[in-house]
Chains A and B, each alone.
Chain A
Amino acid sequence: MLVEIENLRVAFRSRSETVEAVRGVSFCVGKEKFAIVGESGSGKSLTARSLMQLLPGQAEVSADVLRFDGIDLRGASESVMRTLRGKRVGFILQDPKYSLNPVMTIGQQIAEAWREHKGGSRKAAMLAAIGLLEQVKIHDAAAVAKRYPHEVSGGMGQRVMIAMMLAPDPELLIADEPTSALDATVQAEILKLIDELVSARGMGLILISHDLPLVSHFCDRVAVMYAGRIVELLNAGELHQARHPYTQGLLACLPSLRHPRARLPVLQRDAAWRGEETQ
């Protein structure tokens, strides 16, 4: 197993109250495509970030098991984390505009990532960077490598981010809403690209999204999160047989081209979905 998580909890303590944002999440991810779906505030990003220990300082994390490839990540030192972050686990974030360095060319940034993990001369790194840009299906990669992030579109920027993450040949890719800032057509292209690269390189993928039908096209398994817990774990092909009323509600409230309706059904949230506070 690449990732093993058991009873993960993330809490934020303030002077007056403690808010538990992730409340006992457990799952395992192997070399597969795993999706975490939920609304804002459901704890899906925190779950992925706690794996890489990228949480804000005041967050309190506890877990019975938190392992990557057998390495215990609970309280792992920064030097251990440095051997994982970027190198063995790639992280793709929502908006390429904020993840890329605005004052370095795209080629330099990818080459820097390459040299950081693999060493070698600047020239070799730049050649490798251009090769990576070709792998993410950028035509005329050499010209794009000379551009600055503001000179490329959002879709292209996200391809660049993916190319940078691929540089050290990671075993796991975590993509946190990689396409929500993009157009529908570009969105599908990027997800297809991630899908192909993950399959071709035999990587594991954790895809975080709020779009349930969309991820079901690209992933093997889907975990649906609500209020800090996984309420349902499904095979992507079996979304139709979702049992939990929250999952069913999420699917039903989408406007549809196939099935026109005068009014959209609205999610009636049931207090029971939150589950027992004391597990």
Chain B
Amino acid sequence: MIEIADLRIAFAGQDVVKGVTFQVANGESFGLVGESGSGKSTILRALAGLNHAWRGRMTFGGLALDARRGRNFYRQVQMVFQDPYGSLHPRQTIDRILHEPLLVHRIDRAEQRISQALNEVGLPAALRFRYPHQLSGGQRQRVAIARALIAEPEVLLLDEPTSALDVSVQAEILNLLSDLRTERKLTYIMVTHNLAVVAHLCQRIGVMQHGKMVEQLSADDLRARRIQHPHTAQLFDLSMTLEEPA
């Protein structure tokens, strides 16, 4: 489905992503973990088409991606951002926000699709004509997910979708994401720094350090600590000590 080979991205002459290669199969969910500055979000943004200055090879559904991408790509690949406070237009109602992708992609039956999208992400229909500031953080993230899903994409790119949320809300959003993936056979690429979250939602995990992918492993291998690289081991051991109460 998605193949990334020897991807390199530089900002102001400094390499941020230094030759990263991975593949994500159709219907798979792949997690990118690493510390801030390791380049994980940069990869996601280049894949989403938000940054054109990259070298290497990226293919989507067998077709090579270049700087200019067709409307179809932008419909099939949708992104959910970290901060639900910053990613929704403050002066548009939820209805207007959900309308936008339908207008852009010339999709019909807007009325029906919007109420269906709200229903699918578990938002009451009454919220439809509210503004983002009238919603809680969890509700906003649900709106962001509904906006991503309304164009019926095949791939969701998730950039730290729960790290700005309370843990109880995080559980709800993670459950929602795994339900949607099963129902719609979606492919996920998720960026996070939380190993427990990535192991929960993703089958395969790529560990980033200093712009390189130092290890790829399955969630089961991670849980069983079948780890090759010392950086993965370090992240894992720390998460294990801190996740249990003292």
Residues of A within 8 A of B (CB): 39-40, 153-154, 182-186, 188, 210-214, 216-217, 236-237, 239-240, 249-251, 253-258, 260-267
> Nearest Cβ in chain B — how far from A263, in angstroms?
6
- How many inter-chain residue pairs (CB < 8 Å) link A and B? 105
B243: which of A183, A254, A262 is its contact (CB, 8 Å)? A254
Known contacts A154-B36, A184-B235, A214 near B195 by CB under 8 Å:
no
Contact A258 B167 (CB under 8 A): no
Known contacts A255-B199, A258-B243, A185 near B35 by CB under 8 Å:
yes
- Please measure, in the bound complex, the distance between the C-alpha atom of A240 and the C-alpha atom of B200, giving whole angstroms: 22
Q: Which of B196-246 contact A (CB under 8 A)?
A: 196-197, 199-200, 219, 222-223, 234-236, 238-246
Contact A267 B168 (CB under 8 A): yes
B100 contacts A by Cβ under 8 Å? no
- Please measure, in the bound complex, the distance between the C-alpha atom of A65 and the C-alpha atom of B234, giving whole angstroms: 46
- Please measure, in the bound complex, the distance between the C-alpha atom of A77 and the C-alpha atom of B223, giving whole angstroms: 56
B interface secondary structure, majority: helix
Contact B238 A185 (CB under 8 A): yes
- Please measure, in the bound complex, the distance between the C-alpha atom of A12 and the C-alpha atom of B157, giving whole angstroms: 40
Stretch with Cβ within 8 A of A (4 or more), from B21-29, B43-51, B54-62, B169-177: B169-177
Contact A210 B167 (CB under 8 A): yes
Contact A39 B168 (CB under 8 A): yes
B178 contacts A by Cβ under 8 Å? yes
B193 contacts A by Cβ under 8 Å? yes
B223: which of A216, A240, A253, A260 is its contact (CB, 8 Å)? A260
A interface secondary structure, majority: loop
Contact B242 A236 (CB under 8 A): no
B166 contacts A by Cβ under 8 Å? yes
Contact A263 B238 (CB under 8 A): no
Q: List 8 other contacts, CB 8 Å, given A184-B35, A217-B241, A250-B168.
A: A39-B169, A183-B193, A211-B167, A250-B167, A257-B195, A257-B222, A257-B239, A258-B240
Contact B234 A183 (CB under 8 A): no
Residue in A closest to B37 when the chains form the complex, CB atoms:
A153
Contact B194 A264 (CB under 8 A): no
A184: which of B171, B172, B193, B246 is its contact (CB, 8 Å)? B193
- Please measure, in the bound complex, the distance between the C-alpha atom of A186 and the C-alpha atom of B137, giving whole angstroms: 25
25 contacts between A and B (CB under 8 A): A39-B166, A183-B36, A184-B235, A184-B238, A185-B35, A185-B234, A186-B35, A210-B167, A212-B245, A216-B246, A217-B245, A240-B245, A253-B168, A254-B167, A254-B171, A255-B199, A256-B196, A256-B243, A257-B199, A258-B240, A258-B244, A260-B219, A264-B171, A266-B171, A266-B172
A40 proximity list for chain B (CB < 8 A): 137, 166
Contact B167 A253 (CB under 8 A): yes
B197 proximity list for chain A (CB < 8 A): 255
Proximity bits, B95-131, A CB within 8 Å = 1, else 0: 0000000000000000000000000000000000000
A214 proximity list for chain B (CB < 8 A): 242
- Please measure, in the bound complex, the distance between the C-alpha atom of A183 and the C-alpha atom of B209, giving whole angstroms: 13
- Please measure, in the bound complex, the distance between the C-alpha atom of A153 and the C-alpha atom of B235, giving whole angstroms: 19
> Nearest Cβ in chain A — how far from B234, in angstroms?
7
> Nearest Cβ in chain A — how far from B216, in angstroms?
18
A263 proximity list for chain B (CB < 8 A): 175, 178
- Please measure, in the bound complex, the distance between the C-alpha atom of A243 and the C-alpha atom of B238, giving whole angstroms: 27
Contact A264 B35 (CB under 8 A): no
> Nearest Cβ in chain A — how far from B168, in angstroms?
4
Contact A217 B246 (CB under 8 A): yes
Known contacts A214-B242, A237-B246, A258-B244, A185 near B235 by CB under 8 Å:
yes
Proximity bits, B46-85, A CB within 8 Å = 1, else 0: 0000000000000000000000000000000000000000
> Nearest Cβ in chain A — how far from B49, in angstroms?
27
Contact A184 B223 (CB under 8 A): no
- Please measure, in the bound complex, the distance between the C-alpha atom of A261 and the C-alpha atom of B200, giving whole angstroms: 7
> Nearest Cβ in chain A — how far from B32, in angstroms?
14
> Nearest Cβ in chain B — how far from A153, in angstroms?
8
Contact A264 B235 (CB under 8 A): no
Contact A210 B166 (CB under 8 A): yes
- Please measure, in the bound complex, the distance between the C-alpha atom of A254 and the C-alpha atom of B178, giving whole angstroms: 15
Known contacts A39-B168, A213-B244, A250-B168, A255 near B174 by CB under 8 Å:
yes
A260: which of B172, B199, B243 is its contact (CB, 8 Å)? B199
- Please measure, in the bound complex, the distance between the C-alpha atom of A10 and the C-alpha atom of B197, giving whole angstroms: 35
Residue in A closest to B38 when the chains form the complex, CB atoms:
A183
Contact B243 A266 (CB under 8 A): no
Residue in B closest to A155 when the chains form the complex, CB atoms:
B36
B236 proximity list for chain A (CB < 8 A): 257
A257 proximity list for chain B (CB < 8 A): 195-196, 199, 222-223, 236, 239-240, 243
Contact B238 A188 (CB under 8 A): yes
B168 proximity list for chain A (CB < 8 A): 39, 249-250, 253, 266-267
- Please measure, in the bound complex, the distance between the C-alpha atom of A239 and the C-alpha atom of B236, giving whole angstroms: 22
